[in-house]
Every structure is written in structure tokens, then in C-alpha cells.
Amino acid sequence: EVQLVDSGGGLVQPGGSLRLSCEASGFTLSAYAMTWVRQAPGKGLEWVSSIGYSGEDTYNGDSVKGRFTISRDNSKNTVYLQMNSLRVEDTAVYYCAGYIVAPRRQYFYGMDVWGQGSTVTVS
Amino acid sequence: EIVLTQSPGTLSLSPGERATLSCRASQSVTSGYVAWYQQKPGQAPRLLIYGASTRATGIPDRFSGSASGTDFTLTISRLEAEDFAVYYCQQYTGSSFIFGPGTKVDIK
């Protein structure tokens, strides 16, 4: 079965740190670019960070720039999100997701595999 | 910066009815970079449509997507009980992702 398993969430005080992990099973992680998407309580989806297939390119949303770092270890089939200087407004469910993009064709195949979500509470 | 506006915010319909959800981009976008997702309470989002109009694997053919300029539409031809959920459109910019605020489809 193709799946992503998120872990590492929890309760942390403002200014603290957490590291989320996302382990893939049933498929080869290196076939996907990976991303983290979060959802604050009762709110919509917000893109957080993305990383290219081999980890050479990373991108972060404005709200987390300079505080969050995405990385991956394809040998362990795992993606990470290191979250530092956490704020109350970072409280959310964090989902990892995998996607495939073909820039030369200007085509994006959607985020078609998702983790179950990891809850982060900053309080 | 591209902004995606979804309308209506809430759509109240009965099973068997047709649902038409709109997503408008604030500027020109590449239609091949547009996707739609369904999310039910307590669950992760599920990919429905990518490339503006291609159904993802396993998605029933009552779901369809279309594009016209900066306007994107998700249509559910005949609502079934399991379709009542929140729907998000999404734009890939080449280095980031933008989500619309969502349309909730609830039972009338």
C-alpha cells in the first residue's frame, strides 16, 4: 500500500522547536518532490515548504521563512520539517504530501499522496 | 502575487443535484498547474483533478474540471452522499503553491 506516515507533532512553548518526519512506504520517495501543507484549526490549507526530488531545491512560504527547514533522506524514504522559533500562529495540523511536476511541459500532476497529518500545538 | 478566489463559500444542495464550484485567479495562470482537492472532516485532502481537467486515479467520472482563461470550474454532475465535503483549488507557481479558501458543499 502506498502511504506516507507523519510523526513528531506535539505541544511546545512559543520559541521552541520541533522536527516532523514523514516516512514513505509502498513506493520510492525519490520519485516524488515533497511538500508540507498545514491547516490551522477551522481554517483552510496553507502551503509551508517544498523540496525537489533529490533535495537540491527547497522553497518556503513567507510565514515560515528563516524559521522552518525542509530536508529529505531518500535512503531512509523520509522527509523532515525542522521547525524553530515556533509561534502560537504555527498551531496546525501538518500534512506531508508528494507530487510530480514536469516543468518543461508546464504540467503538475497534483499532490496525489498524503500523510495522515501531525498535530502541532504552540502554547 | 496570485490570489485564488473560490465561490460560493458554501453550496447547499441535495443528493442527485449538480454542483458547480468556481475558482478564479487574480492574474493569468498556467492551466496545467491547477488542481482540485476534496477534504472531509478529520481527513487529509484527496486529489480529484490535476492539469485543470484530468481526473486523478480512482476518481469517479461524475467529477470533472474545466478552464477558461483565469476561471476554473469543478463540476460534480450528480451529488452522492459521500461528496459533501470542502473543495479546494490549488495553483502551482513553479516554486510554491497557492490554495483557494475552499467551497463547502453541504446537504440542503
Is B57–A112 a contact, with Cβ atoms under 8 angstroms apart?
yes
- Give the tens place of pLDDT for each residue, A26-51: 999 999 999 999 999 999 999 999 99
Contact B50 A109 (CB under 8 A): yes
What is the full per-residue pLDDT of chain B (108 aa) written as tens digits?
A: 899 999 999 999 999 999 999 999 999 999 999 999 999 999 999 999 999 999 999 999 999 999 999 999 999 999 999 999 999 999 999 899 999 999 999 999
Joined together, the cell numbers standing for residue A12 give 511546545
CB contact under 8 A, B97 and A50: yes
Residues of A near B (CB-CB distance < 8 A)? 35, 37, 44-47, 50, 59, 61, 95, 97, 101, 103, 105-112, 114-117
Distance CA A55, CA A12 (A): 28
- Cα-Cα-Cα-Cα dihedral sign, residues B35, B47, A7, A93: positive
Cα–Cα nearest to A37, from A10, A12, A70, A11: A70
Asked if B67 and B7 touch (Cβ cutoff 8 Å), the reply is: no
**pLDDT (tens digit, 9 = 90+) per residue, A73-111?**
999 999 999 999 999 999 999 999 999 998 888 889 999
Closest-CA distance of chain A to residue B106, Å: 16
